[in-house]
Amino acid sequence: MEQVIRVRTMAEKVGFVSTRFAGNDGVSLESAKWAEVFWSSEHISYWYGGKLDRHPDVSHCVPEAFFDHPENVWINRHIWGRRIRSARVNARIRKLTDYLKISLDEFCRKFSLSFLVVENALTIPMHVPFGLAITEYLHETAMPSIVHHHDFYWERDRFSVNAVSDYLDMAFPPRLEDVQHAVINESAREQLSWRKGVPATLVPNVLNFEQPPSPPDSYCADVREQIGLGEEDIMILQPTRVIPRKGIEHSIDLVEELGDPRYKLVISHEAGDEGMEYADTVHELAAKANVDLRIVSTRIGEFRHLNSKGQKVYTLWDLYQHADLVTYPSLYEGFGNAFLEAIYYRVPMVVNRYSIFTRDIEPKGFQVVVMDGIITQKVVEEVRRVLENRTFRDKMVDHNYALAERFYSYSVLHNKLDTLISNVKGI
């Protein structure tokens, strides 16, 4: 069993920096968990970003730092998918970089920060001027920093052809003495060492397994009815966006093979920013397979409220509370938050053996129905057993919860962060 050792550190003022801290994206969610663990050690967190939903009293919002700001959108249009950048593009990159660097200094001075936590802004180059600004600021000030990496540019084909290879080498991520790097999987740690010669600490994504979820309350008691499910229906939930790497076609194959009209496939999120072609294909596949597919994104939000029609809007957590099975047939994930979420809410799972799952998660002994790229008859029969045998299912989810508490809890994160702070502060 992994031993948790608490390192006593002095209270610090921590500045979180990214293009966005808002909504339910992985960076926003994980940074909030880090802040919660920091708070348990009396460290106070402050937030810098281009789009924020944090309290104004502890925030510094600079719209130009958002990756979807018009100036950055223009720059991106001129640096990706081509090999040459013009002097005009250079000038606009430089102008925005200088402005953002000044705003970072204002943020640090405004809150008298002890050190920074940079969340993915020096990892994936969705905002190159921002990455340059952070790198230059850290170099010029020697501000102690933890740089938290979620997904690197070399993991995304869309960044392979570019006119900014010098900037990528300089800032994504930088090689600086006063920086501690943290990654979310073992492969990322190896790649960072090989490509940049930079050591990193493995800090997996976590959930607060020390505090189990509350039972379903009255607000979400009718969620199944509201999304059109009957009392006898079985909710097979895929808690992802509708994008190609999420492998929704495999979930459709599974429900088709189960061959029971009670099984309903529910997708929690919309297509996002990768176009509608895959979403259209998913609908066509479901129709041909006679699978009852429900994309309920319009009824799922970041918080509970009533929409303009007076209908309840639920959270993703409300769906988990009522799901009978979670499908997670992703082709690739940086870690896999939905995996931990399903375990937290004690929902059994079907998981495709994506590379990070195979290397980092599966060896720990979780009990899930696994698939290797296709839905086989064995997978279908295992799913039937999980859904039809309550005793077997309860033992499975209880076993998974205990393992997750051991490997992916706040206690583990607390230990990792204490060590990172000690390293970056030279304690």
Residue 32 has pLDDT above 90, yes or no: yes
What CATH number does domain 13-206+410-425 carry, 3.40.50.720, 3.30.420.240, 3.40.50.300, 3.40.50.2000?
A: 3.40.50.2000
Residue type at 92? R
Is the confidence at residue 264, as pLDDT, over 80? Answer: yes
pLDDT for res 24: 77
Closest C-alpha to 397, from 336, 338, 333, 349:
349
Q: What is the DSSP string of 371-424?
A: ESSS--HHHHHHHHHHHH-HHHHHHHHHHHHHHHHHHSSHHHHHHHHHHHHHHH
* Average of per-residue pLDDT across 338-356: 96
Residue 80, number of CB atoms within 10 A of its CB:
16
Closest CA to 355 of 363, 344, 367: 363
Cα gap 193→199, rounded to integer Å:
6
What is the spatial distance between Cα 215 and Cα 120, in angstroms, rounded to a whole number?
A: 34
pLDDT value at position 23?
Answer: 82
pLDDT in tens, 376-392: 999 999 999 999 999 99
119-145 pLDDT, tens digit each: 999 999 999 999 999 999 999 999 999
Across the range 300-323, mean pLDDT stands at 94
Express each pLDDT in 153-181 by its tens digit: 999 889 999 999 999 999 999 999 889 99
Supply 331's token pair.
Answer: 């082709």
Question: Tokens at residue 412, please?
Answer: 């583990």
- At how many degrees (to 10) do helices 26-40 and 410-425 cross? 80
Cβ distance 96 to 129 under 8 Å?
yes
The structural domains of the chain, with segments of one domain joined by +, span 13-206+410-425, 219-407
Fold agreement (13-206+410-425, 219-407)? yes
pLDDT digits (tens, 9 = 90+) for 39-63: 999 999 999 999 999 999 999 999 9
Structure tokens at 207: 């959930």
Cα–Cα distance for residue pair 192/172, rounded to 1 Å: 10
Which long-range CB contacts under 8 A does 119-122 form with residues at least 24 apart?
119/16, 119/17, 119/18, 119/21, 119/27, 119/30, 119/31, 119/148, 119/150, 120/18, 120/27, 120/148, 120/149, 120/150, 120/151, 121/17, 121/18, 121/19, 122/147, 122/149, 122/171, 122/172, 122/173, 122/174
Q: Which helix (H) or strand (E) holds 321?
A: helix 316-322
Burial of 25 (0-12, 13-18, 19+ CB in 10 A): middle
The residue behind tokens 């006898």 is 232
Nearest residue to 311 via CA among 228, 187, 372: 228
Q: Which fold has domain 219-407?
A: Rossmann fold (3.40.50)
In 159-303, which residue ranges form alpha helices assigned H by DSSP? 165-171, 186-196, 223-226, 248-258, 277-288
Q: Where are the beta strands (DSSP E) in 167-233?
A: 179-183, 201-202
Looking at the predicted structure, is the pLDDT value of residue 8 above 60? no
Give 361's DSSP letter. I
- Is the pLDDT at 4 greater than 60? The verdict is no
What single string gives the DSSP state of each residue in 67-102?
A: TTSHHHHHHHHHHBS-S---HHHHHHHHHHHHHHHH
Predicted local distance difference test score (pLDDT) of residue 266: 97
**Which pLDDT score, from 0 to 100, does residue 49 have?**
98
The whole-number pLDDT of residue 332 equals 87
